A = this chain, B = another copy of it.
Amino acid sequence: MRETDFVGGFAKGLKVIEAFGEAQPRLTISEVARATGLDRATARRCLLTLSELGYAHFDGKFFELTPRILRLGHAYLSATPLPRLVQPHLDRLSEAVGQSASASVLDGTDIVYVARAAQKRVMSISLVPGSRLPAYCASMGRVLLASLPEAEARARIMATDRKANTEHTRTDPDELMAELVRVRSQGFAVIDQELEIGLRSIAVPLEDARGRVVAALNVGAPAAAVPVEEMTSRFLPAMREVQAALRSLLQ
């Protein structure tokens, strides 16, 4: 790519949008400059542009994003067949097993939820399309990492801040790589309270018609209600059906 083909102002503006988040819902110009590494004048112009276009609100001191920002994510969600194809299957699966079912894809070192059918809330955080979790400690993340060439999977694991969320979280790169080998050979991943105490989940890869892994599917359940064995004995057969049904739908 030639440098003249790169719209610098666009790239900087996208950085500014991503500076907002749970810990920083309202930001001043200086705070955005600090978070993005942009100079103050550039941060200011990007923020004023967002505000002029209705993507942000400015009260004279603080900027905050408006719901118009959702148009951008929606452009992906509505353009991509995966969420629409997978949603009815998640609805049925979730109802059949009485637990939440989700689909996600890999983005760097994270998984990104693209569809979800929730039964009662199990996790402490709210998961919606667009929500992100670190791949190394999520069942769908393990399945998606296992689908990559080994060097690539290791590189992503090394690039992750591998936090021990609980006493069960596996954080050692070699141990995680060994787990990926196991996941690849058995065709599913089970996480037992590695992300959050009280949460178990099981994931399988979703392949397209050509056998390429394009997403992962999971079922999450409260550890208190569902013993580990039941994750594979009861949920896995139902998940295999979804996997088979989607293989022919995903091109």
Contact = CB atoms under 8 A, between A and B. Distances in A.
Interface residues of A, number: 71
- Copies of this chain, count: 2
A35 to B, nearest CB: 11
Contacts of A108: 54, 68
Interface string A45-66: 1101110111100000000111
Interface string A16-53: 01111110111000000000000000001110111011
Contact of A1 (B48, B120, B131): B48
A100 to B, nearest CB: 11
Contact of A21 (B79, B95, B118): B79
A113 to B, nearest CB: 8
Interface in A72-121: 72-81, 83-84, 87-88, 91, 95, 105, 107-108, 112, 114-115, 117-118, 120-121
Nearest to A112: B67
B18 A12 contact: no
A70 B73 contact: yes
Contacts of A73: 69-74, 130
Interface string A107-148: 110001011011011000010111110000000000000000
B1 A76 contact: no
Contacts of A8: 9
Interface of A: 1, 4-14, 17-22, 24-26, 44-46, 48-50, 52-55, 64-81, 83-84, 87-88, 91, 95, 105, 107-108, 112, 114-115, 117-118, 120-121, 126, 128-132
